[in-house]
Structure 1
């Protein structure tokens, strides 16, 4: 089970449970049994709001659901019908949180706006059109923030992105070089074509966090959000930060 297709766990399944029914703790041998039958590490097994259905976390990146005997596995989202919210997505967001304080911020381009009190990390590819949208639209006008941009060229999609990332990193003024390219498409000239840089290790680090696409945003609470989300959504999340 290397790949999982996300589907919807039928609402009728939720309706089958009694209102307010107390979930049972998972059987003690269920984790071992599932690890053996699925052929991969099982990080945790815990109860869900549905009696007899258990959440199974695999490789810290995937969630499936199992019966008490480990004979059947359900792949997909567990949805609360009343709120129309995916419990699976919420749980995955919790699992994927990172320790912001442990991020290697010295490997990022640091831009301080206003008092710089709020903090945001962005993994970005200079040739990614969605990264350009994030820079030119979503992040435009956001003030009193420090933005750390990790250059993460995706070689399989953008063969020249690594060269451009290196030129930007090696520029005398990295913030200006980054903004000039993302806003006007102008690469730095007259500077170093190459220098000691963190780009290769940034790619590996991003992948270790489960980031396989750009842009990816990490907020101060460790929440990872993928994509060029709108400015108002960024402001809403930042407003919740301490």
Structure 2
């Protein structure tokens, strides 16, 4: 009798494991099916799909930003999810913040940096060399640096990859002295044509992926974003508030 009971326990345990594995396999297959369905319907590359904070929804990361979908892929939502029990924490923004910071690591060696001598803070800014407020921000670079703020530029040609601005920004990134080329371009000077294996197009695509739709777009050290120009003192105050 004891042997039979032990045998039943072993079989039951095996069936439980098998059931779990089949369930997990089914979930993976379902997500793959939803991913394929969405990619075909939206003509967008999906880099990741997984469970959303809200039961019944999946979180979908695409080349055009973060979306949510029903578990069957029938409905697509572009929304913000807030956690009421956590003081209205913006769960969607937290997910985007993590993605911004992890994505920035890929471009750490491809930014044009203006380093503060006594660095206290580092901000990454998506910029366009023809943007008026980008030029205003750049004209105050010494003031940002004096406050201990290091600025790292990423390229975001607003006209897209077929624009003259894109071509000029590639030339700036490929220049022998990118800082000097950036200074000249932001001052409205003629950009000398240069070509190299730059990541301007990749930075532009990454900007679109994390929701950049204008410049300047400032990514803070915690992954949050300040869209638009910020005067030096105002940016310093914002940095102090999160660090």
Normalization by structure 2: what TM-score?
0.59
What's the CA shift string for 1:98-135, capped at 9, x where partnerless? 255x3444433221233234222223211233433443
**Aligned residue in 2 for 1:123:** 126
Aligned pair in 2 of structure 1 residues 215, 227: CA closer, same or farther (>3 Å)?
same
CA RMSD of aligned residues (A): 4.0
Give me the whole-angstrom Cα distance separating, in 1, the residues matched to 2:202 and 2:73: 37
**Aligned residue in 1 for 2:230:** 230
Give me the whole-angstrom Cα distance separating, in 2, the residues matched to 1:198 and 1:241: 36
Asked which structure has the greater CA Rg, the reply is 2
**Aligned residue in 2 for 1:45:** 51
What is the aligned residue count?
A: 201
Aligned pair in 2 of structure 1 residues 116, 59: CA closer, same or farther (>3 Å)?
same
Give me the whole-angstrom Cα distance separating, in 1, the residues matched to 2:120 and 2:73: 51
**Aligned residue in 1 for 2:217:** 216
Give me the whole-angstrom Cα distance separating, in 2, the residues matched to 1:71 and 1:172: 49
Paired residue for 1:159, among 155, 163, 177?
163
Equivalent residue of 1:141, what SS? helix
Normalization by structure 1: what TM-score?
0.59
Aligned pair in 2 of structure 1 residues 158, 132: CA closer, same or farther (>3 Å)?
farther
Structure ranking higher in helix proportion? 2
Runs of 5+ in structure 2 lacking a partner? 1-22, 39-45
- Indicate if the aligned counterparts of 1:110 and 1:175 stay in contact, CA closer than 8 A: yes
Runs of 5+ in structure 1 lacking a partner? 1-26
1:204 is displaced (CA, Å) by 1.9
Equivalent residue of 1:77, what SS? coil
